Structure 1
Amino acid sequence: MTESKQREDIARLAKSLFDRGLTFGSSGNISIRLEDGWLMTPTGSSMGAIDPARISRLDLAGNLLSGDKPTKESFLHMAMYGRRPRAGAIVHLHSTHSVAVSCMHDIDHRDVLPPLTAYYVMRVGRLPLIPYFAPGDLDLARAVEEMASDHHAVLLANHGPVVAGKSLEDAVYATEELEETAKLFLALRGMRTRPLTPEQVADLERRFPRDF
């Protein structure tokens, strides 16, 4: 796939997420791994109006080569890529239901959401909560890095999800599945629920292993 097509894909999928209310204002960012660096959405930009030509082009060391200045949360992407060498793309959103869950007091920090559906298990799996850090705090990158070897998706407390995928489409689909599961989780609060059993989860993990 050409870099031009990858830039167009970032802009197209970012607008889709924005138009459906999964991100808003200038929140959220996307990146794609290249053979010799990364493409990232620029800082301060709206996901609903990304100009493919102005997307940030970074080298392997994270230096800006062309385009606008990259998202100020680029360190989150670099931390995840560093521990997941086969990940092809990362999506970070401030999606409402996922953020709402990240603000709750009585959730399991080791695995935030129960396995309510097969597709959640297949696309997200176990979701740890990363403790709160102020925006731009490099300790947040270190906390993400600690979890990234074992988890391709994490939830930042009072902030939002960071999700890696084998491709950009995979990362977007997993982020959407996470948001819908968070919405289900909140809708079912106080009700008796029937999540998948550990045996059913293990069966799905055997059938659909992640290879990135």
Structure 2
Amino acid sequence: MRQAGMTAMSNETRLREDICRFGRSLFERGLTPGSSGNISVKLDDGGWLVTPTNASLGFLDPARLSRLDSQGRPISGDAPTKEVPLHTALYDTRGSARAIVHLHSTHSVALSMLPEIDPRAALPPMTAYYLMKCGATALVPYYRPGDPAVADAIKGLAGKYSSVLLANHGPVVAGDTLEAAVFATEELEETAKLYLLLRGMNPKYLSPEQVTDLVKVFGVTLPEHGHGHGH
């Protein structure tokens, strides 16, 4: 038992360092400004680590990350981000999720404000890697940051989406590891950037046949309506 306890502690220590390392990377590349954005990771005991409120992702201290129990109650560290209900809703509905990244990345926020966006597929199938890492991206309406009602909107998606855009706010992306969640969030941001660059130019997207091939070969999971072009 002592060995298992020590292993859990070393895992938690590593995850604390990983959160700070990825947070700094995202911040230094301008993917979430000021004290915006938050990251959480599930722990083996059902609790989780989450970045504190009013903390810049560029200057996180591993020892001061918020530690929550399995009910989402703070047990140590600084006060957690006010977006805890958002993270909780995604964990509750997306069983495979072990980490969640929420940013205020510029191009993803811009995309969320465009009038033509399909809430069931915010982006068309533009690249293979977007589909492989993000699947389809849902768009949920605007809610005040920290509003518990955003949790109901996330729950309404029934766990079908690992990547979600909050209108006028930013992306929230779940992954089966912290690295996967970070990489998917970056892929979403780059794809949003591509969409904005190409808007109005009538670009060629991946065909339904090409999408089906990716689903088959790489095991991409898409909601039943997630691979229509939507535009």
Counterpart of 1:80?
90
Does residue 64 (structure 1) correspond to residue 80 (structure 2)? The answer is no
* Matches of 1:199 and 1:139, distance apart in 2: 38
Larger Rg over CA atoms:
2
Counterpart of 1:119?
129
- Amino acid in the other structure paired with 1:30: I
Misfit runs of 4+, over 6 Å: none
Contact 2:136 2:161 in 1 (8 A): yes
Contact 2:125 2:211 in 1 (8 A): yes
Counterpart of 1:90?
100
Which moves more between the two structures, 26-35 or 105-114?
105-114
Tell me the SS of whatever aligns to 2:150: helix
- Amino acid in the other structure paired with 1:120: Y
Tell me the SS of whatever aligns to 2:157: helix
Does residue 145 (structure 1) correspond to residue 155 (structure 2)? The answer is yes
Measured after TM superposition, the shift of residue 209 of structure 1 is 2.3
Counterpart of 2:43?
34
CA-atom RMSD, angstroms?
A: 1.2
- Amino acid in the other structure paired with 1:202: T
- Amino acid in the other structure paired with 1:174: A
Contact 2:131 2:220 in 1 (8 A): no
* Matches of 2:117 and 2:94, distance apart in 1: 26
- Amino acid in the other structure paired with 1:27: S
Counterpart of 2:58?
48
What count of residue pairs does the alignment treat as equivalent? 211
- Amino acid in the other structure paired with 1:8: E
Does residue 13 (structure 1) correspond to residue 22 (structure 2)? The answer is yes
Contact 1:80 1:148 in 2 (8 A): no
* Matches of 1:135 and 1:32, distance apart in 2: 20
Counterpart of 2:7?
none
Question: Equivalent of 1:174, from 177, 181, 184?
Answer: 184
* Matches of 2:122 and 2:40, distance apart in 1: 25
What is the TM-score when the length of structure 1 is the normalising length?
Answer: 0.96
Identity among equivalent positions (%) equals: 60
Measured after TM superposition, the shift of residue 147 of structure 1 is 1.2
Measured after TM superposition, the shift of residue 97 of structure 1 is 0.1
Tell me the SS of whatever aligns to 1:147: coil
- Amino acid in the other structure paired with 1:34: L
Tell me the SS of whatever aligns to 1:31: strand
- Amino acid in the other structure paired with 2:203: T
Extract unaligned runs of 5+ from structure 2.
1-9, 222-231
Tell me the SS of whatever aligns to 2:67: strand
Contact 1:14 1:50 in 2 (8 A): yes
Extract unaligned runs of 5+ from structure 1.
none
Measured after TM superposition, the shift of residue 35 of structure 1 is 1.8
